[in-house]
Amino acid sequence: MNMSDLTVIIPAYNEEATLRSFLPQMLDFCDRQGCFLLIVNDGSRDGTKDVLRSYENRNNFRWIHHKLNKGYGEAIKSGIMAAETKYCITIDADGQHSPEDICRLYALMTERDADLVIGQRSEKWKDNPYRFFGKKIIRGITKMLMPLDIQDINSGMKMYRTELARTYAQLSPSNMPFSDIMTLYFVNQRHLVLETPISISPRVAGISTINTMTAFETIMEILNIVTFFNPMRVFLPVALVFFALSALWGIPPMILRGEGISVGTLLLFVTGMNLFFLGLIAEQLAMIRKKIGNLP
């Protein structure tokens, strides 16, 4: 399979030990398939830079160096902006992804003329109950806020149409939630997003930087993007909650004891009204933004 129109982007931060075994494998794969390899060294403090420099004379290989650590999302942004091919794919530098799965994503991308193809991980990644539970919460919140048929939104292996990826990368965060938010942009803007199964291997070396704070940041970014595109999906449910609380607080005394409207009831009702009209204003701004053409 010739994949000369594909760039493989790998963000790397303190991955010296992993890259010593994983990088030769990736370079051989790219040589066979004709694709381009681009690694972004995101301010690593170990010997990652030295490992990359030792391979800089290889064909179809380039690396970018950040003097300081800018974050997972910023590293991928640098790679996407530097990619010169029609398609680009992001994979992790920890050696968990199989290069052969790139062919699977590429085949689906080209056959279906997709805009984004996500590598859906096998059941092995669910062996960690803590991370599995966190990912389920994130996906559950996302489905409540916007239509989503994607099963593995957190996957680190995603193949993009580069032109669209450049547009949405500029709007996405610089930290770990970058990959999730990019997916939501594609879904929300009605691009063709597909999934295909991939395999996952144990991390070659080092430890994962994903933690509870990462999950919290992801949820906050999801709220931001939903408010950006579909504000009423956030404001309307909250407003309805305040209306319901107002009714529960005020109706029983009015009916059972013949009392008037209490201050608490009025406060809850006015808060609900304020949220509702704030949501309407935000919805109008979102519609104007789309018509102006800031986004495709």
Q: Residue 17: which domain range?
A: 6-228
Which stretches does DSSP call E strand in 106-211?
116-121, 158-161, 193-198
The verdict on residue 267 lying in a domain is yes
Per-residue burial over 160-189, b if 16 or more Cβ lie within 10 Å, else e, is bbbebbebbbeebbebbbbbbbbbbbbbbb
The verdict on residue 1 lying in a domain is no
The verdict on residue 149 lying in a domain is yes
Q: What is the pLDDT along the chain (296 residues), one digit of tens a residue?
A: 789 999 999 999 999 999 998 999 999 999 999 999 999 999 999 999 999 999 988 889 999 999 999 999 999 999 999 999 999 999 998 888 899 999 999 999 999 999 999 999 875 545 455 455 555 565 565 555 566 677 787 788 999 999 999 999 988 878 777 888 888 888 878 899 999 999 887 655 555 555 556 566 666 666 666 666 678 878 888 899 999 999 888 877 777 666 777 888 889 999 999 989 988 888 887 776 555 445 55
**190 and 170 in a common domain:** yes
Q: Is the pTM of this model over 0.85?
A: no
**267 and 158 in a common domain:** no
Domain count for the chain:
2
Tokens of 128: 């960690």
User: Is residue 225 classed as helix, strand or coil in its secondary structure?
Assistant: helix
Out of 228, 250, 270, a domain closes at: 228
Out of 228, 259, 284, a domain closes at: 228
